[in-house]
Structure 1
Amino acid sequence: MSIEKIACHCCDLVQELSAIQPGQKAHCSRCGHLLTVHHTGGLDTPMALAFSGLVFLLLSLPFPFMAFESQGRVQEVSLANSGFDLLQQGFPLLALLLTLFILLIPALTLCTYLLILFTLRQEQSPPWLYRLTRMLFILHPWGMAEVFLIGVLVSLVKIAGMADIIIGVSFWAYVLFALCLITTITRVDPAQLWQKLDQIAGIHRKLPSTEPGSALKNQLQSCHHCGLLHPLDTANCERCGSPLHARFPNSLQKTWAYLITAILLYLPANLYPIMNTTLLGNSEPSTILGGVLVLWEMGSYPIALIVFIASIMIPIGKMLALIWLAYSVQHGHQHRVSERIKMYRLTELIGRWSMIDVFVVAVLAALVQLGGLVSITPGIAVIAFAGVVILTMLSALSFDPRLIWDSLSQEEMAAINRSQVPLNDLLDDLR
């Protein structure tokens, strides 16, 4: 691996990556953030996984995903028609979210991986490949295939008592697709991929001269997408072409704007019905908390716990965490730096899992439609709750964790720097 200087995404500390070998991963010596993972196996393994994932996705589209049978009547649903079914019922926004998050974005992610890896496998690295790679990592948070599968599991438990459920061939194909997607993403490290692009293009980036400390202290700024260091007066990244900023522009303002809007939407998301179940002409609305209680009364304690954590605890916890992070930065708090950084990483990690309830409603609404016998329709709260999830994700993505370190006094920063662990001591073998 070639020597490269990078600034940590979380604390902005400039570090030189020169000792990492295949099969190892490196963490920031100040905040512990994972900097890079050097996977063994080269390009062939993720390329095979990406290709297999696309094959499984195509196989999951034409066949029945699930079927709902009650009193001799059968309702089938396929992934290809699920969005159209919701559109016909008068829920275009829910249809759009379902199609984007479980089909289009995951498919586009795998296609992009396959194109990038195949081009690199041919020992080519054209300029457009850099911009395509930048787009790839922007897509990552919005592909929710695994979240959708958990939503399907919850749906099966909710309607198990109403009728017989038949699992179709497409369900198993989609499970394999989701596994291939997750494995492909975890087998390709962003830092390693950017270096591979430069290596095949024959580009040797000049290492900036730096002193110990942050990139900003060294009059440098790192690209938000590829991590390449540039002088502060550089407008665009010379590697991927994205606009450069020492810190996210208007980070706190955007964080607060998304967060306050999410809080306002969270009230109707919990007060109004998220879905309506009609059984033999009798309509019964259900809120998010009401759905959890129904699952608990049915004896499905693990599923009830999953829904309660994903739909109630995670959104509230994430909003409280973001409020504390933004407030602490605005008021220049000097304490609990490591705890705040861990809190930030956690908000990035867990936010999208709250979409479980949205996918549950979408699956049930597309599947359970047997006329006057039994039917399920989305409630007004489902759109509000989807807005909460998306806005909290945008709020977390807008928050710049380096602001936590910028607000520290010189004495506090000096104390933290004295406790740094050398980078070589933070190289871990992959298990």
Structure 2
Amino acid sequence: MKINCGPLTGFTQARYVIHLSTGKRLVLFRLPAIDPASPKPNEAQGWSYFAMEAECPHAGGPMQDSTVDIEDSAYVASCPWHAYDFNVETGESSLGLKACTFPIDVTGESVLLEFPVDDGHPVSLAKVEPVSEKVKLKHGRPSDKSAKPKREEPGMANYLDDTATFCEWAVHILNTGNPEHKIELTTHFYSIFTERESSSSPMELGRGTVTPPDYPPREQMEIIRAGEMPRSSKGGSQKGRIMILHALANIELWAIDLAIDICVRFATFHTDKSSQELPRTFFHDWLKVANDEAKHFSLLRTRLEELGSYYGALPVHHTLWTSALDTKDDLRARISIIALVHEARGLDVNPVTIQKFRNANDRESVDTLEIIHNDEITHVTTGHRWLTWICDQEGIDPVQVFRTNVIKHFKGVLKGPFNEEARLQAGMDKRYYGDIPRPPIRAA
């Protein structure tokens, strides 16, 4: 049967989640037509539409967050959890699996989904939900790339020119203290880097040519020790919810720097034994994480302002960056502590935090926090993927490497309860975090 998903004019973003009355979820892709001269039934006005199941058939990863590339004149979506690839039209994968895909017809004024019906039971559309992709910037970045703001213009972010290398961009963003400028530059950097990756002139990496700062600056923020932070309430009151959102915004802002820093600080890294340098996909993956973190900060900052507050109204701490300094000389340790301890801990506590806001009937904040939680599963996946890659090159066990680094660098004990389902989705089974002994007490 054909299900009307809505008028063609209503689809303006790259992807949507389609919710059916049966509870089934699909992802709808809206992608530029590869060959506009030969239109197909699923194409209109230069755009192609594809629908596939929203959960990866390998381990249930969110295909709405997949990376989409063109291979052999066809679009291929790669799951953000374990990089399984699927042709968005046929569902075929190079890894032997097959995803369910569903024909789309846009020859009229509506987007029609062809969906099979079992035993004549009717299926209807419940809702169509756009996937959040845009950062909420206070000042839009220039649409004309040749018309960049001049450096001397007050209140504007400083853009580098087209000759800047990846590492020059990274250090520039790390040295940017204004949070609005940081998220604007990060999203612009991700946009131009990914655009050039598919062109004949990819951005030069510039490995080892610049040095990241020991401590990224912060503008007009009261920074105190974590133990001195005021205790937040349970989240029932508006004041309590503002305190929680402010603390989360601080984490997301530092997370931008952490994802950028890992690229430039370890740009010249080579694996032991095999002496492999980091491939370009390493830089793309962590820049994608930074772009997500910029989106998260913008959503939280916007929500704070909607609640009558603003980012900077409360003091913040820099515990996350302390962990970065502790692991600045070892990429394996940096991934272990930042991505697989701190980010993974977020997977444990996010559902509890979301429930607090749900209990307070704060639907807008719940929507924001759910976007963040889903993205952070992919961030832990990124950490797991690259720690595993390094260890595979070096012929060592990533589980043991992780556990050794936790004992050496993490100041504390990994405590439950753990979100075992989300951790497993990201590649971390109980071998990683179960029963890690306390680190030895250091002599005074």
| TM-score, normalised relative to structure 2 | 0.29
Structure exhibiting the larger radius of gyration computed from Cα positions: 1
| TM-score, normalised relative to structure 1 | 0.29
If each structure's helix is expressed as a fraction of its own residues, which one has the higher value? Answer: 1
| RCO comparison, higher one (Cα < 8 Å, 6+) | 1
